[in-house]
Amino acid sequence: MKKYFSIVMLLIIVSCNQSKKSSDIKKEITSTKPNIVIIYLDDLGYGDLSSYGATELQTPNMDALANGGIKFTNGYASSATCTPSRYALLTGMYPWRNKNAKILPGTAPLLIDTKQQTLPKLLKNQGYQTAIVGKWHLGLGTGIVNWNEKVTPGPNEVGFDESYILAATQDRVPTVYIKNGNVVGLDKNDPIEVNYKENFEGEPTAISNPEMLTMKWHHGHNSSIVNGIPRIGYMKGGESAKWVDTEMADHFLAKAQHYVKTHKENPFFLYYAMQQPHVPRTPHPRFVGKSGLGPRGDVILEADWAIGEFMKTLKDEGILENTLIVFSSDNGPVLNDGYFDDADEKIGKHDPKGGLRGGKYSIFEAGTRVPFITYWKGTIAPQVSDAIVCQMDLLASIADLVNTKETSTDSKEILQAFLGKTKKGRENLIIEATGKTALRSGDWLYIPAYDGENFREAVGIEVGNFPYEQLYNLKKDRAQQSNLAISELEKLSEMKQLFINLRGKDYQKGVKEVVFQ
Ligand code: NG6
Ligand code: CA
């Protein structure tokens, strides 16, 4: 009897140990391989979130991330425009190392070399499932694209298992969704043709047929008309495949939610690249007039709602505590980016720049300093961090998180800053705006002398060009009002030297070639 009792006890102990072990292992796997979601907005400014100081607009769902995670106050996109920032985010490389990393037309070839390291590739190699839903704007194909066949290479060739994208921007043709290289809903009898140089004979444009427009163009945006909205570039055919602008937010949200629901059993990386508040601003009728700030405010509310719905899905699927969420924007804000849409007229007291100088296209802070949040329920303690962090650093930092190393790029491993264990991020960072570069180092910002106009009339933004050098102490002078280049000579020469060391002597090269399209 005694012997029998000891055997039973032994069995109980062994089985307890075993079950403990397997749950430990599971815990280990989930903690070293959390799901990773990057929620990336388009042209959202530092001051566009109520948690970042907006008073005229409430963004409760973005705020829930900012207040429940780390709200970075010195978080940067690499650049003041979309393509270069997205390039840096995905490849961990400074975009100015690639001369083609500038705002791309919808017909541009793939900007990322298929041999290059990328964030999705790195995660895929660690066993992750990977997907992009939303705006791509990093080129597709190798030159001349036939939109009626599989368009490749694209996101699927640089690390994404699955892709559901808009090719370039909402204001550029082709105005269709592309799933894993194939235009969605295309009727082969109505092939799509795209051209950025000339129109197709007989096709209406904003110039020839202004009566067809439901939205008026201010500058640029006067080529093909789709859904009453004039676009950049010419497109013919593909009628059944054309997206409905007002449904785009719901459409991408549904795709992102579906992805989560169908991939939650194993670690996944989802790059959810939302289109708001880039032009044309086309809120769903549910959001029209809701912000009182015109369509720009309305689409921010729409994006906020979509983020709330997406977060609910993570929660309902039981994976919220096992998901790291990074929230940011590809560049700073702009009001008039080419359409008459009341953005300027209805701005009232709202300051999308959050007190920073400049805006989209600008080498001043509002161009690249953006809302930047990391959120991981139960793992990241809520806090505000003034660490200097850049989206480019996610590659090396996430590598560390998933127990690998990535040292071949410009990406800095600052995982502890992203997890809130330290307030120390990068020491310095080169920022970029339409080809011009500047140096942030500690509290200081150095901008070399550049030719050209400072004030870009069409968009109403100071882009930061002056024929003399600029030096700012951002800690004391966040709004960049006092140029200390004449008084802080020692600092100036130290910054200039560091800038040249990091950037190279030829920093002026190519700057003039970058034309504003
Ligand atoms: C500019 C467009 C602007 C926007 C931008 C790209 C004109 C006049 N302006 O050339 O509307 O599309 O490119 O924005 O065409 S970004 O956020 O994708 O960089
Ligand atoms: Ca953008």
Question: Which ligand is nearest the CA of 169, by number?
Answer: 1
pLDDT tens for each residue of 4-26? 555 555 444 444 444 445 555 44
Of all protein residues, the one whose alpha carbon is nearest to atom 5 of ligand 1 is 103
CA angle 437, 439, 445 (to 5 degrees): 120
42 lines ligand 1 (CB under 6 A): yes
Q: What is the mean pLDDT of residues 53-66?
A: 98
As its CATH architecture, domain 435-508 has 2-Layer Sandwich (3.30)
C-alpha dist (Å) from residue 393 to 76, 106, 325, 326: 10, 27, 15, 12
Closest ligand 1 atom to the C-alpha of 232?
A: 15
User: Rg of the chain's alpha carbons, rounded to an integer?
Assistant: 24
337 lines ligand 1 (CB under 6 A): yes
Q: Which of 10-14, 42-46, 199-203, 349-353 has the lowest mean pLDDT?
A: 10-14
Neighbours of ion ligand 2 (CB under 5 A): 42-43, 82, 330-331
Q: What is the b/e burial string over 382-402, where b = at least 16 CB atoms within 10 angstroms of the residue's CB? A: eeebebbbbbbbbbbbbbbbb
CB-count exposure of residue 65 (10 Å: 0-12, 13-18, 19+): buried
Question: Which pLDDT belongs to residue 5?
Answer: 54
Of all protein residues, the one whose alpha carbon is nearest to atom 16 of ligand 1 is 82
DSSP string, 368-405: HB--EEEE-TTTSPPEEEEEEEEGGGHHHHHHHHTT--
Distance of CA 180 to the CA centre of its chain: 20
Would you place residue 511 in the very low, low, confident or very high pLDDT band (cuts 50, 70, 90)? confident
Same topology, domains 35-193+241-423 and 435-508? Answer is no
Q: How far is the CA of 458 from the centre of ligand 1 (A)?
A: 12
Closest ligand 1 atom to the C-alpha of 339?
A: 11
Distance of CA 36 to the CA centre of its chain: 15
43 lines ligand 1 (CB under 6 A): yes
Domain 35-193+241-423 has CATH 2.60.40.10: no
Would you place residue 333 in the very low, low, confident or very high pLDDT band (cuts 50, 70, 90)? very high
**Rounded to an integer, what distance in angstroms lies between the CA atom of residue 138 and that of residue 159?**
14
Q: Is the peptide bond before 34 cis (omega within 30 degrees of 0)?
A: no
Output the furthest CA–CA distance in the chain (Å, rounded). Answer: 99
Of all protein residues, the one whose alpha carbon is nearest to atom 12 of ligand 1 is 171
199 DSSP 8-state letter = P
Q: How far is the CA of 420 from the centre of ligand 2 (A)?
A: 27
**Rounded to an integer, what distance in angstroms lies between the CA atom of residue 347 and that of residue 223?**
28
pLDDT tens for each residue of 396-445? 999 999 999 999 999 999 999 999 999 999 999 999 999 999 999 999 99
Give the chain's mean pLDDT: 94
Instruction: Give domain limits for the chain.
Output: 35-193+241-423, 435-508
Question: Which pLDDT belongs to residue 203?
Answer: 98
**Rounded to an integer, what distance in angstroms lies between the CA atom of residue 510 and that of residue 517?**
16
Closest ligand 1 atom to the C-alpha of 169?
A: 18
278 lines ligand 1 (CB under 6 A): yes
Would you place residue 505 in the very low, low, confident or very high pLDDT band (cuts 50, 70, 90)? very high
pLDDT tens for each residue of 479-489? 999 999 999 99
Q: What is the b/e burial string over 440-472, where b = at least 16 CB atoms within 10 angstroms of the residue's CB? A: bbeebbbbbebebebebeebebbbbbbeebbbb
Q: How far is the CA of 81 from the centre of ligand 1 (A)?
A: 8
279 lines ligand 1 (CB under 6 A): yes
Query: Has residue 476 got a pLDDT over 90?
Result: yes
Give the mutation target among 82, 215, 360, 362 for probing the ligand 1 site: most ligand atoms within 8 A of CB. 82
- Residue 49, C-beta contacts closer than 8 angstroms, at least 6 positions apart: 59, 62, 63, 66, 371
211 DSSP 8-state letter = G
Question: Which pLDDT belongs to residue 32?
Answer: 72
Is 352 within 8 Å of 335 (Cβ atoms)?
yes
353 lines ligand 1 (CB under 6 A): no
Q: How far is the CA of 26 from the centre of ligand 2 (A)?
A: 39
Does the pTM surpass 0.75? The reply is yes
Give the mutation target among 137, 169, 216 for probing the ligand 1 site: most ligand atoms within 8 A of CB. 169
Instruction: Report percent pLDDT > 70 for the chain.
Output: 93
Torsion of CA 510, 511, 515, 517, to 10 degrees: 100
Closest ligand 1 atom to the C-alpha of 103?
A: 19
Nearest to 119 by CA among 270, 262, 310, 325: 270
C-alpha dist (Å) from residue 384 to 372, 418, 429, 447, 450: 11, 11, 20, 27, 35
263 lines ligand 1 (CB under 6 A): no
Nearest to 70 by CA among 422, 440, 403: 422
pLDDT tens for each residue of 150-173? 999 999 999 999 999 999 999 999
Closest ligand 1 atom to the C-alpha of 458?
A: 8
pLDDT tens for each residue of 421-435? 999 999 999 999 999
Beta partners for residue 176, in sequence order: 242
Question: Which pLDDT belongs to residue 516?
Answer: 44
Q: What is the b/e burial string over 300-313, where b = at least 16 CB atoms within 10 angstroms of the residue's CB? A: bbbbbbbbebbbeb
Query: Has residue 373 got a pLDDT over 80?
Result: yes
Is 130 within 8 Å of 120 (Cβ atoms)?
yes
Question: Which ligand is nearest the CA of 104, by number?
Answer: 1
